Structure 1
Amino acid sequence: MMTKLVLLLIFAVACGVGPGNLRSRQSSDLEARKIRRIAVVPAAMMRDTPAPKIPFGTPLEPRTSEREAPETLTRFVYLALTSLPNWQIVSESEVREVAQSVPGGTGANRLRQIGEMVYADAVLIGRVQRYRERVGDEWGARSPASVAFVLDLLDVRRGDVIWSASFDETQKSLSENIFAFGDISARGVRWLSADQLAQDGVKKAVGQLHQVIARGP
Structure 2
Amino acid sequence: MNTSPMKRVFVAAAVAILVFSLGCRRKAPQSAAAPKDVVVAVAPFSNPRADFELLAGYLPENVPAVSEGIPGKLDESLSQVMAATVTSRVLGPSTVETCLKTEPRPEEGGRLGTLRYWQEIGRCAGAQYLVVPQVIAWRERGGSAMGTTVTAAVIINFYLVDVATGGVVKFYHFDEEQRSLSDNLLEAGKFFARKGRWLTASELAQEGMRAAMAEFRL
- TM-score normalised by the chain length of structure 1: 0.69
Q: State percent identity of aligned pairs.
A: 27
Aligned-pair CA distance for 1:92: 3.2
Q: CA deviation at 1:72?
A: 2.9
What letter is aligned with 1:90? L
How do residues 1-217 of structure 1 correspond to structure 2 at under 5 angstroms? 36-46=38-48, 48-50=60-62, 66-103=67-104, 107-210=114-217, 214=218
Distance of 1:163 and 1:74 partners within structure 2:
20
Residue type at the aligned position of 2:176:
E
Tell me the amino acid that sits aligned with residue 176 of structure 1: D
TM value normalised by structure 2? 0.69
Q: Distance in 2 between matches of 1:139 and 1:170?
A: 17
Q: CA deviation at 1:31?
A: 5.8
Give distance in 1, aligned partners of 2:211 and 2:63.
29
Q: Is the Cα–Cα contact under 8 Å of residues 45 and 127 in structure 1 kept in the other structure?
A: yes
Tell me, in whole angstroms, the C-alpha distance in 1 between the residues paired with 2:213 and 2:62: 29
CA contact (8 A) 1:37 1:87 kept: yes
Take 1:129 and 1:209, find their aligned partners in 2: how far apart are those partners?
20
Decide which structure has the larger Cα Rg and report it. Answer: 2
**C-alpha contact 2:172 2:215 (8 A) present in aligned 1:** no
Q: Over residues 26-80 of structure 1, what are the superposed CA-to-partner deviations in whole Å (9 max), with x where a residue is unaligned? A: xxxx86986821111112213634367xxxxxxxxx6xx7332332333332222
The verdict on how the C-alpha distance between 1:207 and 1:32 changes in structure 2, with shifts beyond 3 A counting, is: closer
8 Å contact kept, 2:181–2:191: no
Comparing 41-50 with 145-154, greater Cα deviation is found at 41-50
Higher relative contact order (CA 8 A, sep 6+): 1
Which deviates the most, 150-159 or 36-45?
Answer: 36-45
Moved more, 184-193 or 132-141: 184-193
SS in 2 for 1:207: helix
Task: Indicate the RMSD between aligned Cα atoms, in angstroms.
Answer: 2.6
For this pair of structures, how many residues does the alignment match?
A: 171
Q: Deviations over 1:166-206 (max 9, x none)?
A: 00011000001113331244322111111111111111111
Q: Structure 2: how far apart are the matches of 1:32 and 1:190?
A: 33
Tell me the SS of whatever aligns to 1:43.
coil
CA drift of 1:148 comes to: 0.7
Q: CA deviation at 1:131?
A: 0.4
Q: Secondary structure at the match of 1:46?
A: coil
